[in-house]
Amino acid sequence: MSLDANQLPGGRFLWTDTEPERVFMPEDFTEEHRMIAQLAEDFVANELDPLEEEMEQKLSYGLTVDKLRAAGELGLLGAEVPEAFGGIETDKVSALILSEKFGRVPSFFVSYGGQTGIGSLPIVFFGNERQKRTWLPDIVFGRKLAAYALTEASAGTDALGIRTTATLSEDGTHYVLNGSKQFISGSGFADLFIVFAKVNGTDFTAFIVERNSPGLTIGPEEKKMGLKGSSTCALTFDQVPVPVENVLGEVGRGHIIAFNILNIGRIKLGAGSLGLSKDVIGISARYANERKQFGKSLSSFPLIGRKLADMNIRAYALESMLYRTGGLLDEALGAINLGAEHSGAQSAKAIAEYALECSIIKVFGSETAGFAVDEGVQIHGGYGFTQEYRIERLYRDARIFRIFEGTNEINRMLIPGTIVKRCSQGALPLLASEPALPEWNGAGSGAPLDLEQRLTESARQWFRWLLAQAVRTFGHGLDQEQEICAHLADIAIHLYAMESVSIRARKRMARDGEAKAQVSRLMTAAFIHESYEKVLAWARDIVSSLGIGEQGEQAWERLRAPEEMAAFDRVEARRKVAARVIEEEKYVC
């Protein structure tokens, strides 16, 4: 599948700005999007919140299973499944909205994500007609629950290193699976598993395996730090027969399924991280208003306000990137008929186009959630360390997000690796010519956010120059320079965030006027200023490591914050953002 002439290519933010009118943002939600959001909010409030504590005790799987089925009856499990197979076939933005809303209840979010994402989308995108008709209607209504089985004791981040094998029977009717899987979410109650094994020990392949298959053993529940309301067990395969009809996709092409479904899993994890972060902001603001210290509300202290502002600003950046990428995926996947014969290959190419953005959102999203819960505990003080308050559990729950769907470390390696690979394929023009050593563009217009746009462009130029120098210096060995790769990844992550919040704020100002968009503008400016200083620090580290002589010395001299940045009062900006959060006791934008 080649890109449509009007489709924005993945990674475009690395070499040029994008016109705001071409970027989807939360302010562009349709009435249908808002209806789906409300339906999910009501379900969480009415069906999950009252039972959340009981679910966490996990005396049985009954509550989780019942609520998954209740969600299925409302259509909440079929958002990405074609109508022909029982789903409601909404867009990717709608699917992200649902993931965001369920992110408020992390244990259920994991079960929900297994059912609607990594457990079912392999069949949606890569299953044949028979497989889709056999499994999807039951999955959509929660009559059958699904799970994804890739991780092994010796193959977590290194997915291709799995040792589970599949051997074709002599009569050619079935494969025999042997091996084990570990840390499989939803395995305690799943009816079917998307299992990855190597045919003949070499050909990485996906299979649909039923729970009642002879020789399949489900291990005991893992004793986890958090997400205690979810199920996590190991699977053991001892001569498990799987019909050849249950091969998903093609033999030897399972990596296409695994990696592209992980991309979708990464962006959905970012959505869940957003929902969790927003919830923590509300919890923390309400507590800060109620709690008295020295005769005053905790929220009246500026350092508490700063925490709330920083939590809100990071969530705003995540929200901006998340739905921007959702819009890109909708453009890429919208024209594909998922019932067609070659839809799997088309879907894989469409998803892979934005693999970079999905990794970025996974890293930034999980770290935003981690930051939010940590600051939330701090705002609660000693009470945040007790189980009496919900923030204690959310703190434990959020920790796994930086490990799920590929650790943040491996995603930081994937980001520059993906960029260099796309450059070599001609999909990104970053290395087509030698970029000049960046110079600060001091010719500003004075318009609102003009300085921030120039800071974003400067970050972009520095990334291009640093990438070119790193590739020139290390060549194919760049992936071994993990510290440099991680800094390049962090610059790319913050560049995407900087451009996204800038575009969003400019759209808001154009639509609503500068006064109504004040909080958006202040958050955008504060985020970009802070991010630009981080970019400069990472760039200095890279320059020091490259050892590129006189040019490196010139670069070092230019890696200074422009004097114009001093005119923006970040303290006052955060105080204004904090005031809104404290007043409304929730996430604001």
Gyration radius of the chain's alpha carbons: 24
405 part of the active site: yes
Q: How far apart are CA 490 and CA 459, in angstroms?
A: 11
Question: Which residues 6+ apart lie within 8 Å of 128 measured at CB?
Answer: none
Q: How far apart are CA 211 and CA 218, in angstroms?
A: 9
Q: Is the dihedral of CA 433, 437, 440, 443 positive or negative?
A: negative
Cβ-contact 526, 313 below 8 angstroms: yes
Task: Give the type of residue at 31.
Answer: E
Q: What is the DSSP letter of 152?
A: B
Task: Give the type of residue at 196.
Answer: F
Question: For residues 428-453, b (16+ Cβ closer than 10 Å) or e, as one string?
Answer: bebbeeebeebebeeeeeeebbebbb
Q: How far apart are CA 336 and CA 355, in angstroms?
A: 18
**Which has the closest alpha carbon to 107: 261, 235, 221, 264?**
221
Plot region of 381 (φ>0 → left; ψ -120 to 50 → alpha; else → beta): left
Question: What are the structure tokens assigned to 235, written together?
Answer: 């699977």
3-class secondary-structure state, position 373: helix
Q: How far apart are CA 333 and CA 10, in angstroms?
A: 13
Plot region of 243 (φ>0 → left; ψ -120 to 50 → alpha; else → beta): beta
* Set 405, 452, 457, 499: catalytic member: 405
Residue with tokens 């070659």: 342
3-class secondary-structure state, position 180: strand
Q: Where are the beta strands (DSSP E) in 141-276?
A: 146-149, 165-168, 174-185, 192-199, 203-210, 216-218, 232-243, 247-248
Alpha-helical runs (H) found in 209-251: none
Q: How far apart are CA 437 and CA 552, in angstroms?
A: 10
**Which has the closest alpha carbon to 316: 17, 14, 18, 26?**
26
* Catalytically annotated residues: 405
